[in-house]
Chains A and B, each alone.
Chain A
């Protein structure tokens, strides 16, 4: 596959997915109240604006994006702090700024800004695999992530973390440094869970978000593929904390030991736990999970609705505009957070596979372009966008099918969200310009 073919497939898949998304949103919002039906019109508006803007901007040389990077990054940081102060709170997360006529979501801008910021930092000439370079990468990505976590918007943070890890991996860092990054990320995650359990106030994660994680383990006989059965998170939590601290202390000199510790550290308590008696396991589980035994907390309502919608799809789906759950308004947020379920209900297993294939083609074409481009900034930004997209897709479809705890992520190009759509199209413009000009000699 050469770059030209990859570029074509990128544009075609992006447009196709967009059309599919619009048709799904249309079908879902046909019979709902005016406020929701507005989102379809809104989406149309934003689509036209985004495509026009993308077509205008995609011919610019990659130098333009390099110059834009610090401004975009700074601007996003400012917007993220602004949204904490003057933002509008919807569904428990203060993530929107209301301007007259439209509302923007700064965390979506971050998806684009962080990609080019990381690409710029990692492609700078002074990068030499030292600790301070690594720390620079860490702080450049941690600062906006922290601001997002303050909103609190766990879902967007979850999509950015694999992107950060993937981009640093592709830029050629030593694996132990990548491992440290992962360990630090998991340390942060564990810290969030612990703060939710003990209800510390200065970390704004809500107990309901922890409940979602717990409820993931309570789905009926169909245990999710990544589920860990009856293991209480406490054991994993303490082991990971210990390992992360350990790996931080043991810096550059004993890098290989980190891997050993990580693996052994996770496997050992797992082995220990599984060799305990059933009674003991259940007893510990009960103690930890008692606060979540409230009737409301056992089943996840959106997960149930999504499951019904998926099952209704069967092999070939129920047909466009004829899905039961969507037409009778039984699927909440069918136009944004659960749009994959709505789509699958109408087009079935076959349709879902087709959509996933389109997305995979899009992402793979981006990676192919990244591998064939010489300029490091262009390569990294291309792969950053690819990782970003794949992260979103995996998490969205993951929580729709019950593999991952429930959050609210937009499906790229499909979900109803003006800012998200615009940002993704700008990402396409960036990809196109990087692919076209990435092989030129840059000063």
Chain B
């Protein structure tokens, strides 16, 4: 064989020898050491803290706080009880809350009795006269909880100099805290325990162990699992932002991998750094809600709402940031009672802005106006007389404008802007009935009705557009926003933003940046927009919302609405819902809003006045733009 081949063969024989030597080293010479380590290798899961939810102006809405519990371990305590008791008593004397000092001895004795009971039970189960040393050690090493949530004066000394308190131990728990109480409770949502149904959608630790037959070690050290798996007793976000951003808020659990090794005859624990990973905290979310505006909205809603409550949404029309979203009645975040869950009248746990849908009534007339103008059924100057004669559709009974129904003589000849300003039904009866169901459906869908807006909150309702045939489907009802048509407050506010943007559709969101941006623009001619804007302006100037100077001051453009809600079982008419939706400009920003007070028609407030939706908005604006007396941090009011 040629020389070079022989050289190569030599190398090929050398390599396995090298490897064999190395293997012998690992497996046989030092094998015992590694085997020992590998048998006692254990992975402990380090829980990650949940991310916080904050507002962009600095309020903390939801945060994980550490809470400390005091334990006693009898094995160490009984070695020298007097020393640690004396020290602890000394510590507790300096605290104002005497409860700790009073109950300390009692609780220790109580726990000791429990331990004795466990020992007796174990003894009765086994045949021996004495418990094995292992079992005794196990029972004596059990920590017993003495006090939950101890104050800093107790846990700081116990943590910094544990040698002064032998037998007492201190452990930290994390607890989700909602410092703002009722503020924005619907937006925050709630945490619930991981339940049986959730197992279908999320990986669960016990399922992985039993069905996939993974080991605890492989789950604990795998990054993918530690960011998605749920352990027993874990919490999962249900409603609101806690629920929508659950996967990002939860963080990634870490693991501490340790093993035992025998060093100089003694067994020592050693942490394996390479396999241990620290937990990473969940993402923090900053929401776009303006806290002063939100507070004012909640207060005004509470004032103006009737028994069934109400909802208001204010958002930045250009970007889609939600500036305020309030729903009344509200609840205290973190404390939900059984009563609140089963209260079907007030429904305090529902975010009425998006989880409740109702008739839009006259607010929908804007869509009808745009449809009428764009489909060429009328132009901006066409007038329709509104008088006592009423409107009779083919084969139907005569209907009248609400003006006539309330005893007035009718609005007279109205063009589209005046019809919006006066909310005249007659215009829409005449012109709207010439629209086909297809066309009005098309325009309604274009403006986002009948679909979700895409906000980052769960359980959003889609609303409903009336079907072509069937009960409640008449075009007359459709035009004026009654019938089978259902919308949410959020849809109306988003629609108003689209109108403010002259057709550019935005996606409302609470958290900036994560959401997808919409680039759709609805093409509607400028004359139509001008006519609509004129109508909205005239509403506030001399139309249905003329009695509020605050609205005129901030040049609010809006549309009122009164939704008929049908009759009760006894035949009495239920109070109508009150709507007001529109937008206003302030320093280059455009804010759109929508408010809906459920069943609040002719509701009398506490101060004796009648509640109106436009009045509520006026009140909110007044509070928000009020010049402060002391000159502290309020947003600059509009110039006169």
On A, residues with C-beta under 8 Å from B are 31-33, 166, 169-170, 172, 222, 224-225, 295-296, 298-301, 304, 307-308, 310-315, 324-325, 328-330, 344, 348-349, 352-353, 356-357, 359-360, 363-364, 367-368, 370-372, 383, 386-387, 390, 393-394, 397-398, 401-403
Contact = CB atoms under 8 A, between A and B. Distances in A.
Contact of A324 (B1, B27, B33, B38): B38
A390 B273 contact: no
Interface stretch (B4-12, B395-403, B547-555): B4-12
Contact of A349 (B27, B37, B217, B275): B27
A264 B34 CA distance: 40
B215 A329 contact: yes
B30 A353 contact: no
Contacts of B59: none
Nearest to A1: B1
A32 B213 contact: yes
B31 to A, nearest CB: 5
Contact of B19 (A32, A299, A356): A356
B470 interface: no
A308 B37 CA distance: 8
Interface centre among B4, B27, B37 (most CB of A within 10 A): B27
A310 B4 CA distance: 35
Given A329-B214, A364-B9, A311 B30 contact: yes
Contacts of A403: 18-19, 22
A304 B274 contact: yes
Contacts of A352: 20, 23, 27
B212 interface: yes
A360 B12 contact: yes
B30 A296 contact: no
A401 B13 contact: no
B8 A314 contact: no
Given A324-B38, A367-B12, A371-B5, A330 B31 contact: no
Given A32-B212, A298-B274, A363-B12, A308 B38 contact: yes
Given A32-B214, A310-B26, A311-B38, A301 B275 contact: yes
Interface string B22-48: 111111101101110111010000000
Contacts of B33: 311
Contacts of B8: 166, 169-170, 367, 383, 386-387
Nearest to A394: B15
Q: Interface SS of chain A: helix, strand, loop or mixed?
A: helix
Contacts of A33: 212, 214
Given A225-B18, A304-B272, A311-B27, 17 more contacts: A169-B4, A225-B21, A298-B273, A299-B274, A308-B41, A311-B31, A311-B35, A315-B27, A329-B217, A344-B27, A352-B23, A353-B20, A367-B9, A367-B12, A397-B19, A401-B23, A402-B26
B277 A310 contact: no
Contacts of B30: 222, 311
Contacts of A31: 213
Given A170-B5, A299-B275, A401 B41 contact: no
Interface of B: 1-2, 4-5, 8-9, 12-13, 15-16, 18-28, 30-31, 33-35, 37-39, 41, 212-215, 217-218, 221, 272-277
A313 B277 contact: no
Q: Interface SS of chain B: helix, strand, loop or mixed?
A: helix
A438 to B, nearest CB: 14
B35 A312 contact: yes
Given A325-B38, A330-B218, A371-B1, A222 B26 contact: yes
A54 to B, nearest CB: 23
A300 B273 CA distance: 9
Closest 5 interchain pairs by CB?
A: A299-B274, A311-B34, A308-B38, A329-B218, A371-B5
A431 to B, nearest CB: 15
Given A314-B27, A353-B20, A401-B22, A330 B273 contact: no
A250 B616 CA distance: 90
Nearest to B13: A360
A383 B277 CA distance: 46
30 contacts: A32-B214, A33-B212, A33-B214, A170-B5, A172-B4, A222-B30, A296-B274, A299-B274, A300-B274, A304-B272, A304-B274, A307-B26, A310-B23, A310-B34, A311-B30, A312-B34, A314-B28, A314-B35, A315-B27, A329-B213, A329-B214, A329-B217, A349-B28, A353-B23, A357-B16, A367-B8, A368-B1, A372-B1, A383-B8, A403-B19
A356 B21 CA distance: 12
Contacts of A313: 27
A91 to B, nearest CB: 12
Contacts of B37: 308
Nearest to A224: B22
A370 B7 CA distance: 13
Given A307-B34, A314-B35, A356 B274 contact: no
Nearest to A360: B16
A299 B274 CA distance: 4
A307 B273 CA distance: 16
Given A307-B26, A349-B28, A330 B19 contact: no
A326 B273 CA distance: 22
A324 B217 CA distance: 12
A308 B4 contact: no
B26 A311 contact: yes
A364 B39 CA distance: 39
Nearest to A315: B28
B27 to A, nearest CB: 5
Contact of A312 (B9, B12, B38): B38
A170 B1 CA distance: 12
